[in-house]
Amino acid sequence: MDLQLKGKSALVFGGSRGLGRAIAAELIAEGADVVIVARDADRVARVAAELGCHGLAGDLSQPGAGRALTEAAAAVLGRMPDILVTNTGGPPTGSFAETSVEKWQSGFQSLWLSAVDSIQTALPAMKAQGWGRILAVTSVAAKEPQPGLVISNGLRAGLLGLVNTLAREVAKDGITVNALLPGYTNTDRMAELGVDNATMGPKIPAGRLGDPAEFAALAAFLASGRASYITGQAIAVDGGLLQSI
């Protein structure tokens, strides 16, 4: 299937590892010109060289970083990205009682405001050309909160409301906006949480953790010209874990 991504440009936040890297690799394989962004400058440079794309270093926990990095990506690409993937690493774990206001504020900046900043920066060009794709990587925790992830549970759920609202506003402009909800996937983040096939596999209907490439395949499709009538959706890639309808 031709995903019609040749000649398209993309900006992938959190693109140096895990799901972000997998998405970037898939878009590149389909012919897109990609910029990845992550905090570690050395890692970004190394991964960009490995993937054959552009790399930018930046910290989304800093106010205004979403806008600044989107503008920097546009300078590298020669235009604003056609495809925008908002994606950040998981915020600190913990219960409500042990989570400070400062941690909430930091999480809100990195998870929420950075996405809003970036979208607001890229959106006018998407509208002007009558084509755009916005993908927000969230988590199954947005629909089914997980113990010990209070910041992620709260903020990622809010992103689903933003996605649906924005999708309705820009559908007439040829722009789609969707959320992707990864379940337990074999990434560094899961390893940090002590999650692996042995501990979680039996609880997942598919019997195993997902592979980042499986998640990236959906992302590439939603970013493509083939998915022009899919918008405002929150789609889980979780091996059947979510029980919601």
Residue 198: CATH number of its domain: 3.40.50.720
pLDDT at 192 over 80: no
pLDDT at 57 over 80: yes
Angle (nearest 5°) at CA 141 between 207 and 204: 10
69 lies in some domain: yes
Question: For the chain, what is the domain count?
Answer: 1
Arithmetic mean of pLDDT, 49-66: 96
Domain that holds residue 230: 9-237
By the 8 A CB rule, do 51 and 29 touch?
Answer: no
154 lies in some domain: yes
Distance in Å from the first CA to the final CA of the chain: 29
Arithmetic mean of pLDDT, 120-133: 98
At 155 the three-state DSSP class reads helix
215 lies in some domain: yes
* 133-177 per-position pLDDT tens digit: 999 999 998 898 888 889 988 899 899 999 999 999 999 999 999
95 lies in some domain: yes
Per residue in 217-245, is it b (16+ CB within 10 Å) or e — as a string?
A: ebbbbbbbeebeeebbbbebbbbebeeee
| Type of residue found at 4 | Q
Determine the angle formed by the axes of helices 41-51 and 18-29, rounding to 10 degrees. Answer: 30
Integer Cα distance of 223 and 168 in angstroms = 17
Residue 1 vs residue 80, higher pLDDT: 80
Arithmetic mean of pLDDT, 22-41: 97
pLDDT at 189 over 80: no
161 lies in some domain: yes
Per-residue confidence (pLDDT) for residue 36, from 0 to 100: 98
100 lies in some domain: yes
211 lies in some domain: yes
2 lies in some domain: no
Residue-by-residue DSSP string for 116-184? HHHHHHHHHHHHHHT-EEEEEE--GGGTS--TTBHHHHHHHHHHHHHHHHHHHHHGGGTEEEEEEEE-S
By the 8 A CB rule, do 83 and 223 touch?
Answer: yes
- For the entire predicted model, the pTM comes to 0.95
Integer Cα distance of 108 and 105 in angstroms = 5
Per-residue confidence (pLDDT) for residue 68, from 0 to 100: 98
| Type of residue found at 50 | E
At 178 the three-state DSSP class reads strand
